[in-house]
């Protein structure tokens, strides 16, 4: 249960005064549904307002606050003409106050002639005169609060102003309680950080206050690290059972090549974990094509050798089927029984699979989220492997673990190389293995960047590729045309390519039904289709060695990590593969650097580190995924700086200060609830 002290912050945003249906809409678009959301919606910039007694052309381009007296009006002959108010300062210097689309009656009411007003706005020099266009504040000398020298600028949506958000933030601050301190006193003193409530008041009042902003970012990172350590501690405290295989199934596996050093090292680490009574909790990171499937297969065989069952959870049906086909091929002739279970399985086939799981005749199950649904029971689940971990939340992963009589061992995998900083931030409760070598025979993918106006040349190159017996992917970012976007749609591109290549062109996208999608993928895998036009649904789980060309349209609109994932659909055989990145003609510096890096390297870990640097405070690692841990107050630069201290502070709290039971621990419990990092801990305890 959330501590009662925090309840005022988790009230609906409509609890703040002045929020009616009209204002609720822009707040909803900003994701501000509760009071705490407003409190943590920090300003991103500010306006410095210069107080002036007299107008000075040297101030042009700056925001000033000055007393002006209106002396005349100039209105145009049409509604579109600007309304101008001629005004003078104390020394008689003239300035025009300009309103475009301003109603003459409204302007006269705002500026009665010969009555002084305190005016704020950006002073501009226009020809031979000074002007202020749409002043941001106009008030009588004897009314209203004094104009602030510094005004916060907030992220906005249509219908919302920074002034209104500042007012709501002030209300939210009034509801915010004083909270006990959860930061270790020496650490807080060394950094010169203010108290939590004071930091919020300072940052909303002065967005340039670096110490206040740093304190709040630290709190969020600290809560995250503490939650991860508590999850790890709870998991480690649970008694599982050792899984000690005799090697008979692994020895029967006939591989066409020897495992890489990284694979052999990781398999050894996993075997060591499985031999412990403490459940394994390990993250396996591997670049595209680095051989994670072999490592997962070896782990599943260890579980089967020990007389238990293993389950492999994949995020999509395409990826689940790919794993099933690959493992079935690898394990052919070996005494191990493998099955697949996906959401649309019905009837006798599903019943047979469920019975096989319950009676233990199935050793390894592969599937989507269907494998942990109600009604699916295992005789003896010993190992859970989760692929593409970033697409699953902790809750989903725990549901599968709950299928076991005793806590099973857990191996989670991701093909998205993650910078070390973010690995610690998102997976700090896990041991980490990295596959940083590629299997022998893999050639680097040749990457070229091509302007979109050379589309005809690309189509000609595709024709030559198909004539030579090759296959290709063509990736588009949208399913259908949108009035809000100029990105080419997959459906339109497929039609255009069919006009030239006929029925050699197939199309898959996320809105297709499963059987329809599977049928197209099967035809492409069998070589019946030469070109597969697709959205990013093919980002993971597609393995067609003969497809050695990929065209990614509007590549400058994708994140680096997603481009790298898509590029990994080719280069899966021993032959030369090519990735063509079609770019728009208007590139910003970040897009230019991103595409240059893709052309320069195939190293996913280097790409991930550079992605973090280039994106700065923006979205991390390409498109957001549902299971990713998001930070609201700590941007990536802050994350890298604050994470070591937060991790050390959280460990100190657990190891020296009594965990959540001591005085500082009780304060830290408030931080967990405040930053909504309590869910995983509660789930583990209830499990």
Query: Which residues is 51 bridged to in the sheet?
Result: 65
Residue pair 63/137 in contact by the 8 Å Cβ criterion: no
Residues 6+ apart with CB under 8 A from 516: none
pLDDT score for 640: 78
Read off the pLDDT band of 273 (50, 70, 90).
very high
Cβ neighbours of 18 (radius 10 Å): 10
| Domain coordinates in residue numbering, the chain | 1-44+155-172, 46-153, 248-435, 446-601
CATH class (in words) of the domain with range 46-153 = mainly beta
Distances (CA, A) of 101 to 48, 104, 106, 110, 158: 27, 9, 11, 15, 19
Buried b (16+ CB within 10 A) or exposed e, 66-99: bbbbbeeeeeeeeeeeebbbbbbbeeeeebbbbb
Whether residue 36 is predicted with pLDDT greater than 70 in this model: the reply is yes
Distance CA 453, CA 546 (A): 28
Instruction: Name the percent of the chain lying above pLDDT 90.
Output: 53
Q: Measured at the alpha carbon of residue 65, what is the angle toward residues 60 and 69, in degrees to the nearest 5?
A: 100
pLDDT score for 604: 84
Read off the pLDDT band of 10 (50, 70, 90).
very high
Residues 6+ apart with CB under 8 A from 106: none
pLDDT score for 449: 96
Tell whether domain 248-435 is in CATH 3.60.40.10: no
Q: Give the residue with greater pLDDT, 618 vs 101.
A: 101
- Span 187-198, average pLDDT: 97
Q: Measured at the alpha carbon of residue 146, what is the angle toward residues 141 and 150, in degrees to the nearest 5?
A: 140
Residues 6+ apart with CB under 8 A from 191: 211, 214, 215, 218
Residues 6+ apart with CB under 8 A from 28: none
pLDDT score for 439: 78
- Span 503-523, average pLDDT: 85
Read off the pLDDT band of 460 (50, 70, 90).
very high
Residue whose token pair is 């680490």 = 269
pTM over 0.75: no
CATH of domain 446-601: 3.40.50.300
User: What is the C-alpha radius of gyration for the chain, rounded to an integer number of angstroms?
Assistant: 31
Distance CA 358, CA 368 (A): 18
The fold of 1-44+155-172 is DNA polymerase; domain 1 (1.10.150)
pLDDT score for 254: 86
Whether residue 397 is predicted with pLDDT greater than 80 in this model: the reply is no
Q: Which of 103, 223, 178, 85 is nearest to 629 (CA)?
A: 223
Q: Measured at the alpha carbon of residue 45, what is the angle toward residues 210 and 176, in degrees to the nearest 5?
A: 65
Whether residue 592 is predicted with pLDDT greater than 80 in this model: the reply is yes
Q: For residue 132, give the 3-state DSSP assignment.
A: strand
pLDDT score for 488: 52
Residue pair 319/449 in contact by the 8 Å Cβ criterion: no
Strands 117-126 and 63-75, how do they pair? antiparallel
Distance CA 397, CA 312 (A): 11
Read off the pLDDT band of 363 (50, 70, 90).
very high
Give 11: exposed, middle or buried? Use CB within 10 Å, 0-12, 13-18, 19+.
middle
Whether residue 478 is predicted with pLDDT greater than 80 in this model: the reply is no
Distances (CA, A) of 20 to 16, 17, 23: 10, 9, 6
On average, the pLDDT of the chain sits at 86
Handedness of CA 400, 405, 407, 411 (dihedral sign): negative
- Span 253-279, average pLDDT: 93
Whether residue 182 is predicted with pLDDT greater than 50 in this model: the reply is yes
Q: Do domains 248-435 and 446-601 have the same CATH topology?
A: yes
């Amino acid at each position: 249960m959330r501590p009662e002290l925090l309840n005022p912050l988790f009230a609906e945003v409509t609890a703040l005064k002045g929020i009616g249906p009209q204002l609720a809409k822009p707040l909803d678009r900003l994701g501000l549904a509760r009071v705490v959301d407003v409190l943590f919606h920090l300003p991103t910039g500010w306006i410095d307002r210069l107080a002036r007694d007299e107008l000075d052309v040297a101030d042009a381009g700056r925001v000033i606050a000055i007393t002006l007296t209106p002396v005349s009006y100039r209105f145009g002959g049409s509604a579109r003409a600007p309304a101008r108010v001629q005004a003078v300062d104390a020394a008689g210097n003239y300035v025009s106050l300009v309103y475009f689309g301003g109603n003459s009656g409204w302007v006269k009411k705002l500026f009665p002639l010969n009555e002084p007003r305190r005016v704020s706005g950006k002073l501009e020099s226009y020809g031979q005169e000074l002007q202020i266009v749409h002043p941001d504040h106009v008030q009588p000398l004897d009314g209203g609060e004094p104009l602030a020298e510094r005004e916060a600028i907030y992220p906005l949506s249509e219908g919302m102003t920074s002034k209104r958000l500042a007012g709501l933030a002030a209300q939210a601050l009034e509801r915010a309680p004083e909270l006990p301190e959860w930061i270790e006193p020496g650490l807080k003193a060394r950094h010169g950080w203010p108290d939590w409530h004071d930091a919020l008041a300072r940052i909303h009042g002065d967005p340039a206050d670096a110490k206040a902003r740093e304190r709040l970012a630290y709190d969020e990172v600290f809560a995250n690290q503490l939650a991860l350590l508590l999850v790890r501690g709870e998991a480690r405290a649970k008694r599982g059972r050792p899984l000690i295989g005799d090697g008979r199934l692994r020895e029967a596996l006939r591989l066409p090549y020897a495992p890489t050093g990284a694979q052999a090292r990781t398999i050894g680490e996993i075997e060591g974990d499985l031999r412990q009574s403490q459940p394994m909790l390990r993250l396996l990171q591997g670049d595209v094509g680095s051989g994670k499937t072999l490592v997962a297969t070896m782990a599943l065989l260890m579980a089967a050798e020990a007389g238990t069952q293993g389950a492999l959870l994949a995020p999509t049906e395409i990826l689940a089927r790919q794993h099933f086909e690959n493992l079935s091929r690898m394990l052919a002739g070996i005494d191990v029984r493998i099955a697949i279970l996906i959401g649309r399985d019905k009837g006798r086939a599903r019943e047979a699979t469920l019975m096989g799981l319950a009676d233990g005749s199935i050793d390894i199950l592969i599937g989507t989220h269907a494998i942990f649904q109600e009604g699916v029971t295992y005789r003896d689940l010993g190992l859970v492997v989760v692929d593409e971990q970033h697409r699953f939340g902790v809750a989903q992963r725990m549901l599968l673990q709950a299928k076991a009589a005793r806590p099973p061992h857990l191996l989670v995998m991701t093909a998205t190389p993650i910078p070390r900083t973010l690995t610690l931030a998102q997976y700090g409760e896990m041991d980490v293995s990295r596959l940083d070598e590629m299997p022998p025979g893999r050639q680097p993918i040749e990457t070229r960047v091509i302007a979109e106006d050379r589309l005809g040349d690309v189509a000609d190159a595709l024709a030559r590729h198909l004539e030579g017996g090759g296959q290709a992917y063509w990736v588009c970012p949208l399913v259908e045309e949108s009035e809000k976007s100029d990105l080419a749609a997959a459906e339109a591109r497929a039609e255009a390519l069919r006009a030239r290549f006929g029925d050699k062109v197939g199309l898959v996208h996320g809105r297709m039904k499963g059987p329809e999608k599977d049928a197209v993928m099967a035809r492409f895998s069998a070589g019946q289709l030469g070109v597969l036009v697709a959205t990013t649904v093919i980002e993971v789980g597609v393995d067609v060695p003969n497809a050695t060309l990929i065209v990614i349209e509007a590549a400058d609109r994708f994140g680096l990590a997603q481009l790298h994932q898509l590029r990994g659909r080719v280069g899966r055989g021993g032959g030369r593969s090519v990735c063509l990145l079609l770019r728009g003609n208007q590139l910003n510096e970040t897009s230019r650097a991103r595409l240059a890096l893709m052309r320069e390297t195939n190293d996913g870990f280097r790409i991930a580190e550079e992605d973090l640097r280039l994106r700065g405070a923006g979205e991390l690692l390409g498109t957001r995924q549902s299971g990713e841990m998001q930070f609201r107050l700590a941007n990536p630069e802050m994350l890298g700086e604050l994470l070591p201290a937060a991790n050390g502070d959280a460990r100190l709290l657990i190891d020296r200060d009594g965990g959540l039971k001591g005085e500082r621990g009780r304060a830290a419990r408030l931080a967990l609830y405040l930053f909504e990092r309590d869910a995983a801990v509660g789930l583990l305890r209830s499990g």
